[in-house]
Amino acid sequence: MKLSLSVRIAEAACKTKLNVPFGDLVQLAKELGYRAICMRASAGGIGTPRDRLEQMRSEVEAAGIVVSMVTADSDVPLNNERGPDSLRDIDPSLDVAEALGCDLIRVCLKQESDIEHARRAADRAGERGIRLAHQCHTTTLFEQVDASLAVLEEIGRPNFGLIYEPANLMLCGEPYDETTLKQFLPYLMNVYVQNHRLDENGPEALETWCLGERRFHHIPIWERGGVDFDSVIAGLKAVGYEGYFTVHQAYAHLMGPEEAAVKSAEYLRSFGCFE
C-alpha cells in the first residue's frame, strides 16, 4: 500500500481553507516519505484558476509525489444539500483533476434521484479516463454496507467505485473488517482513515440515517479506543489491496499538521505494509 496525506490535516474547521501554505504540506509529505497528496477544494478546486492548479501540480511533481485523489468543491466534504450538484455538471471537476494530473474524483450522493446523475457523470468522466468514487459517509447513500453495494450495482459503471472509510462505518454501527472489505473489493478505489472514539456524552456529533445522532471524540489515528486499525490493516492485506491509503484525520484542534503527519506515518509504518 502507498501512504497518502490529505490536505485535511491542515484544514480550518470550515473545510474551505488551509491553515498553512499548500507548498509547505507538499514538502512535509516529501520529507516524510508519503507517496501522494490528497487534494481538496480548500487547497485547490473548481474555484481555483487553471494556471494555479497547474502550478500546484508542478510543485507536487517536483517533490516526486502525485495527487492521489481530488475533491474538487467544498460542498462534497461538507456533505450538505449541494453535495451532489457536481454530478449534474461534472466537467469543472474533471478539469480540476486533469490540471492536477489525477484520475480519481470524490463525489456525493444523498438521494435516489442522484443515481442517474452519477451514471451520466461516470460516463462523461470515462471519456476522459477519470474515475469517480464515493466515501463511506453518514447521511449519504453510502452510509451502510449493504446499501452501498446496492447503489454501486445500480450505478453499474466500471469507473465508479468506493472509498473505504472505517470510522464512518463504525459511527453507523456497521462492520468494517475483512468480511466487509471482501464485499467492497470489486469497487475499492481508495482508502481514507480517521479516528473517533464513541461516547454518548462526547463533544462532537454527526447525524446518521440509520442510528440517529452519534456523539464522539476526534482522536489521533494511533490512539486506542476508536477504530480497530489492526483489523483494518489485516483486512486490507487479506484482500490484497495495494492502492493509496490516505491519512484523512481532521487534526486542526488536536495538533499541528507537522506533528500529525509525522506521528501518523510512524504509526502506520509500524504495520510493515507500506511502501
Q: Using H for helix, E for strand and C for coil, what is the string for 153-188?
A: HHHCCCCEEEEECHHHHHHCCCCCCHHHHHHHHHHE
The reply to whether the predicted model has a pTM over 0.85 is yes
Q: With contact defined as beta carbons under 8 Å apart, do 95 and 44 qualify?
A: no
What tens digit of pLDDT does each residue of 99-119 get? Answer: 999 999 999 999 999 999 999
- Count CB-CB contacts under 10 A for residue 125: 24
Candidates 63, 78, 157; CA nearest to 119 is 157
Top-confidence residue, 73 or 17:
73
Domain-located, residue 274: no
Range list of β-strands (E), 7-103: 36-40, 66-71
18-66 per-position pLDDT tens digit: 888 999 999 999 999 999 999 999 999 999 999 999 999 999 999 999 9
Is residue 275 assigned to a domain?
A: no
Three cell numbers written together for 78? 461538507
pLDDT tier for residue 252 given thresholds of 50, 70 and 90: low
The separation between the first and the last C-alpha atoms of the chain, rounded to the nearest angstrom, is 6
Specify the number of domains making up the chain.
Answer: 1
Rounded distance between C-alpha atoms, residue 33 and residue 266, angstroms = 11
191 vs 38, 68, 121, 181, 188, CA distance in Å? 11, 11, 22, 11, 8
Q: Which residue has the cell 474547521?
A: 13
Q: Residue 10: what pLDDT?
A: 84
Sheet with 196-198: list strands edge to edge: 196-198, 212-218, 204-208
* Integer CA distances (angstroms), 220 to 6, 31, 59, 96, 199, in order: 14, 21, 28, 30, 16
Q: What average pLDDT score do residues 231-243 get?
A: 97
- Domain membership of residue 107 (yes or no) is yes
The average pLDDT across 155-163 equals 98
CATH code at position 163? 3.20.20.150
- The position carrying cell 456529533 is 205
Mean pLDDT of 199-220: 96
Range of the domain at 221: 2-269
Please state, in angstroms and as integers, the Cα–Cα distance from residue 80 to each residue in 70, 72, 106, 161, 215, following that order: 18, 15, 14, 21, 19
